[in-house]
Structure 1
């Protein structure tokens, strides 16, 4: 990671693109935008890098200048003839970041129509790309976007996450990702005599009552969650220290993560998880979302319900509902950033504002894709608007539960290493929880895997 950062830093210095402090960046940004937005000629190709098709679908749904998109989804044509080229690589195992980093390294010498113009970054690694010293992403003010005015309705934590170390905002997002507990109505009726979200919420509102609920479910032959991986984000969102401090080569494992391992061991051995499910993002996990499963609940944000649960449910519509999770949590979030060196600042500004600031567009995204969008007034309105009720959730309006959760989110401190640390600690201790290795071997495997993923890491510190 440091090697990549240093190379990016050197490339930025060679191109003379390093930004100053927050105030200076903001001050010079208006001048830059005036030149690029109204006088400079825009490029013919807008290159957008992403790790899945979500960004393309959202932009094509709301950006009015898009006239058509190719059948294979790789090229969209604007009304003025400009083309958007969608470059998508998978997020898993750091593939997307590797491809993006390579393109950013080549950015200073690339031909205009080969330059990255917009790129996506997940919350797990956005701080890597908002770093002011690297200057991979343009401050929004340099595009002519004033966060205090244009993005005033966004949830505060999403704006903070997208700022560099000087407090300058370099990214924006159309979504916030507060999580809820999603449960099977038929199982709730069988075990508790009701599927009322308010009643079920009393049984899932904290870990103490959740264990009582898990015991009642077990007595009737059901599993509370599909696997130990389902609860991970509630613990990882509660860590008190970042995985890797800025400038450090040490990974610090927070006690909350070992609490997850210990509690998961207890829940698995007690029979509260489905033993057939090994982690997440695999066929076992998806199968457990089907009608023949005995799994009662999942912990998901809005995107999880829409993109994971709904496609894998093969029963009647209206069979699920949402309620309170044992802890407030956030899972995910795709941020969009303008790449330093873009030759399409005016187009980029229009796209970012259409996607993340236009309240009509955000309302449309919420209705069409069930996204929890990043606009406080829109989401507060949705929570009181029955037109946002979900057929998949039996006519329930999920924003009643999503919206209060977003107001209480306090994100854990982030680092540029979060994606790898989160993936690898789940992999290592997943093997332990599946009884393939012992606890100490899981720790050793995590240490080895981290150093292989990030060769600059020299030490892993465990809680005493």
Structure 2
């Protein structure tokens, strides 16, 4: 296995040989789909970072019989047990534990092997890399993406494919993002909270900048933080952070635009200067009823898992409308681990969770996930029963569906998670006045080389 693959897949695991035995050799033991299968194992080991996938599987998978009280074991009707191995995403813990397990995949006893693992968009390409070969091509499971997954959004299939266009994962989610706004603030500033009227005020960046001045004049912030806009710029890059086979990080012009625009908007007072980034206490509080923040840029899961729990006011005070540009944020991809001893079970789970339209509609209805069938989401968009009490009786799918159909996924690389995290960290210090512009650039270059020792050069767009 070449050094680049080892470096990427073992970035959080000590030792250069951590994935020796993975890849093509990892499938040498255990069951295989092609050429007939041996008996399936008694245990299906699934690696993830939270219980989101488990709750969806247990809600719709017909083979589920029971679940242990602590949620660590799900028993299927045929006696097979799903063992859930959950580690937090924070500080790279999940990837570290997963990579360690993949290290041992070839030599592990059948019921100790990784059977299914999940990845996020920010690091999916690390695991779908054809050279790494730790995620099986779906066709090797007997799944034909062209027919079995024909109703999926095309960009999700692209995201789950390797550099050769071979699909190595599938998802129940599609994560188009909207602009989610405070209705009371809209009425105060614009005289209306109608989503069509508000949509006109935020329809593109130039229009939104003028609207930000209106909000500021009334004492409101447009967004909480400069981090809130990053995904829209990041989704618009024209080339991957690192091209296939290269070791040069190229900072795209759109990332430079985010840096320049963020500084301008922060200095102009369109962001709350006390909110430094996302996923911290100040950001959470900016979603409360006492906040002066007008809007957030969120996908469906962001409304359900983040905004709703942090809101302490009356229900129905938020609405959704079109964002200033189409974007996607997130997505959990299901992968069959190369070397699984449960290929038939894994195939059935992937098809049930990502290809069965009725199952996916149920997930959308029960969890407000925007799920991954084009026809299903088009139907939800015109179905009044999908209205959300939290959103004042509005049907968010009416706005999510057209955004999803226009998303063009940004070019992916195995370095995405580190680049996305570290560029924001480095320039957060610049926005806050702790370092100057040149020092922020230098800090990013240092941090990216520490994360990825094989990086040889960083090129900045003019």
Indicate yes or no: 2:357 matched with 1:359. Answer: yes
1:15 paired residue number: 25
Q: How far apart are residue 203 of structure 1 and its match? A: 0.3
Structure 1 residues 180 and 146: CA distance shift in structure 2, 3 A: same
1:430 paired residue number: 428
Q: How far apart are residue 376 of structure 1 and its match? A: 0.3
Q: How far apart are residue 247 of structure 1 and its match? A: 1.7
Q: How far apart are residue 3 of structure 1 and its match? A: 2.6
What secondary structure, in the 3-state scheme, does the structure 1 residue paired with 2:241 have?
Answer: coil
Q: Is the 8 A contact 1:117 1:339 kept in 2?
A: yes
CA distance in 2, matches of 1:288, 1:399: 25
2:295 paired residue number: 297
CA distance in 1, matches of 2:347, 2:6: 31
1:22 paired residue number: none
Q: Is the 8 A contact 2:73 2:82 kept in 1?
A: yes
CA distance in 1, matches of 2:315, 2:351: 35
Structure 1 residues 72 and 129: CA distance shift in structure 2, 3 A: same
Give the 5 Å matches for 1:444-455. Answer: 444-455=442-453
Which residue, 94, 98, 101 being the options, matches 1:100?
Answer: 98
Give the 5 Å matches for 1:136-175. Answer: 136-175=134-173
1:25 paired residue number: none
Using the size of structure 1 for normalisation, the TM-score is 0.94
Q: Is the 8 A contact 1:17 1:135 kept in 2?
A: no
2:344 paired residue number: 346
Q: Is the 8 A contact 1:373 1:379 kept in 2?
A: yes
Q: Structure 1 stretches (4+) deviating beyond 3 angstroms?
A: 4-10
Q: Is the 8 A contact 1:124 1:415 kept in 2?
A: no
Give the 5 Å matches for 1:193-272. Answer: 193-272=191-270
Deviations 1:19-76 (Å, cap 9, x if unpaired)? Answer: xxxxxxxxxx9x935612xxx2111111001122211111111112111222221111
CA distance in 2, matches of 1:7, 1:65: 39
1:23 paired residue number: none
1:57 paired residue number: 55
Structure 1 residues 2 and 136: CA distance shift in structure 2, 3 A: closer
The more displaced of 179-188 and 7-16 is 7-16
What secondary structure, in the 3-state scheme, does the structure 2 residue paired with 1:336 have?
Answer: strand
1:383 paired residue number: 381
Q: How far apart are residue 132 of structure 1 and its match? A: 1.9
- Higher helix proportion: 1
1:134 paired residue number: 132
1:35 paired residue number: 36
The more displaced of 370-379 and 9-18 is 9-18
Deviations 1:299-326 (Å, cap 9, x if unpaired)? Answer: 0011110110011111111110000111
1:114 paired residue number: 112
Q: How far apart are residue 94 of structure 1 and its match? A: 2.5
CA distance in 2, matches of 1:442, 1:93: 22
Structure 1 residues 270 and 128: CA distance shift in structure 2, 3 A: same
The unaligned stretches of length 5 or more in structure 2 are 10-15
CA distance in 1, matches of 2:57, 2:432: 41
What secondary structure, in the 3-state scheme, does the structure 2 residue paired with 1:109 have?
Answer: coil
Q: Is the 8 A contact 1:8 1:134 kept in 2?
A: no
Give the 5 Å matches for 1:177-188. Answer: 177-188=175-186
The more displaced of 361-370 and 93-102 is 93-102
Deviations 1:75-113 (Å, cap 9, x if unpaired)? Answer: 111122211111112223322222211111110000111
Structure 1 residues 346 and 192: CA distance shift in structure 2, 3 A: same
CA distance in 1, matches of 2:334, 2:154: 16
What secondary structure, in the 3-state scheme, does the structure 2 residue paired with 1:309 have?
Answer: helix
CA distance in 1, matches of 2:36, 2:383: 43
What secondary structure, in the 3-state scheme, does the structure 1 residue paired with 2:433 have?
Answer: coil
What secondary structure, in the 3-state scheme, does the structure 2 residue paired with 1:113 have?
Answer: helix
CA distance in 1, matches of 2:123, 2:356: 26
1:404 paired residue number: 402
Q: How far apart are residue 289 of structure 1 and its match? A: 0.4
CA distance in 1, matches of 2:261, 2:235: 16
Q: How many residues are aligned here?
A: 450
CA distance in 2, matches of 1:55, 1:438: 43
2:331 paired residue number: 333
Deviations 1:124-148 (Å, cap 9, x if unpaired)? Answer: 1111211222211111122221111
Using the size of structure 2 for normalisation, the TM-score is 0.94
CA distance in 2, matches of 1:16, 1:174: 27
Indicate yes or no: 2:457 matched with 1:459. Answer: yes
